[in-house]
């Protein structure tokens, strides 16, 4: 097993995904696509692909050429029937590669939100690990304003009142998560360091510290099944 992690922007790294890989002694390469990085090995040399997030938009891919390279790598892994995990922008890129529309949503979701897990999500051996106490819901960290249609043949795993497509699986092992499964308190602190609304930011940090122990536990269970 060897994992390829693709970053679209330096500050949006793999977080607890990287922590898990290190703890399990699973080899991985991290590539900074924006800086022109390339995988050390051909795609055939990797067992799994992780595509991280970023502030760019898939429908502005012509302005961000590294997204085109990332989309090409996603396509390669899917064609090779290898497991792929996309987070936020990474999920939108997977939807794009699978032929679905990606577009600006009606409003942003920023912070901790509950999503509803579909019956199919609760039956999915990987995704159901994110459920809270076995209930068909999960509290997750969001930061996005774009969304996507469900690709043909995909299975919806989660939704929210604002966005119907919060997560999906395509085939047996391609997972797209609109939310950020990988975040840690330091990552969230870094992302919001420049926010002007002090009190709202402090509320967000407090909430993060409250939910993080359980959130990270569920994330690790997800990784355990995904990388199995």
| pLDDT of amino acid 40 | 92
What integer pLDDT is reported at residue 146 of this predicted model?
Answer: 96
pLDDT at residue 198 greater than cutoff 80? no
Mean pLDDT of all residues in the chain? 95
Residue 195 has pLDDT above 80, yes or no: no
What's the pLDDT score for residue 38? 94
42-85 pLDDT, tens digit each: 999 999 999 999 999 999 998 999 999 999 999 999 999 999 99
CB neighbours of 28 closer than 8 A, spacing ≥ 6?
2, 3, 4, 5, 18, 21
Q: Residue 164: pLDDT band by 50, 70, 90 thresholds? A: very high
Q: Quickly list H helices, 80-197.
A: 89-97, 119-123, 185-191
Question: For position 182, what pLDDT does the model report?
Answer: 97
Predicted local distance difference test score (pLDDT) of residue 122: 97
Range of the domain at 59: 3-226
The rounded radius of gyration (Å) of the Cα atoms in the chain is 16
For the chain, how many structural domains are there in total? 1
Looking at the whole model, is its pTM more than 0.85? yes
User: What is the C-alpha to C-alpha distance for residues 130 and 77, in angstroms, rounded to an integer?
Assistant: 24
Q: What is the CATH number of the domain that holds 176?
A: 3.40.50.880
In this predicted structure, the answer to whether residue 197 has a pLDDT above a threshold of 80 is no
Looking at residue 55, what is its pLDDT? 94
Give the rounded percent of residues in the chain with a pLDDT score beyond 70.
Answer: 100
Q: Is the pLDDT of residue 194 over 90?
A: no
**Cα–Cα distance measured from residue 15 to residue 160, given in angstroms and rounded to the nearest whole number:** 24
- How many whole angstroms separate alpha carbon 26 and alpha carbon 45? 14
Q: What is the pLDDT of residues 99-152, one digit of tens each?
A: 999 999 989 999 999 999 999 999 999 999 999 988 999 999 999 999 999 999
Q: Two tokens at 38?
A: 């390339």
Distance CA 89, CA 47 (A): 21
């Amino acid at each position: 097993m060897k994992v390829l992690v693709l970053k679209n922007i330096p500050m949006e790294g793999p977080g607890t995904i990287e922590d898990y890989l290190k703890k399990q002694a699973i080899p991985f390469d991290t590539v900074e696509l924006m800086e022109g990085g390339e995988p050390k090995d051909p795609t055939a040399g990797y067992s799994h692909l992780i595509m991280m997030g970023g502030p760019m938009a898939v429908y502005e891919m012509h302005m961000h050429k590294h997204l085109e390279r990332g989309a090409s790598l996603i396509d390669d892994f899917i064609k090779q029937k290898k497991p792929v995990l996309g987070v936020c922008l990474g999920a939108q890129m997977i939807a794009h590669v699978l032929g679905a529309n990606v577009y600006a949503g009606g409003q942003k979701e920023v912070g901790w939100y509950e999503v509803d897990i579909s019956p199919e999500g609760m039956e999915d051996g990987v995704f159901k690990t994110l459920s809270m106490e076995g209930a068909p819901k999960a509290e997750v960290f969001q930061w996005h304003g774009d969304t996507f249609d469900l690709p043909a043949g995909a299975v919806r795993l989660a939704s929210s009142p604002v966005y119907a497509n919060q997560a999906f699986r395509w085939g047996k092992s391609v997972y797209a998560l609109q939310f950020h499964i990988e975040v840690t308190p330091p990552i969230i602190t870094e992302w919001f360091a420049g926010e002007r609304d002090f009190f709202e930011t402090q509320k967000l940090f407090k909430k993060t510290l409250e939910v993080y122990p359980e959130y990270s536990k569920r994330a690790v269970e997800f990784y355990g099944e995904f990388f199995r």
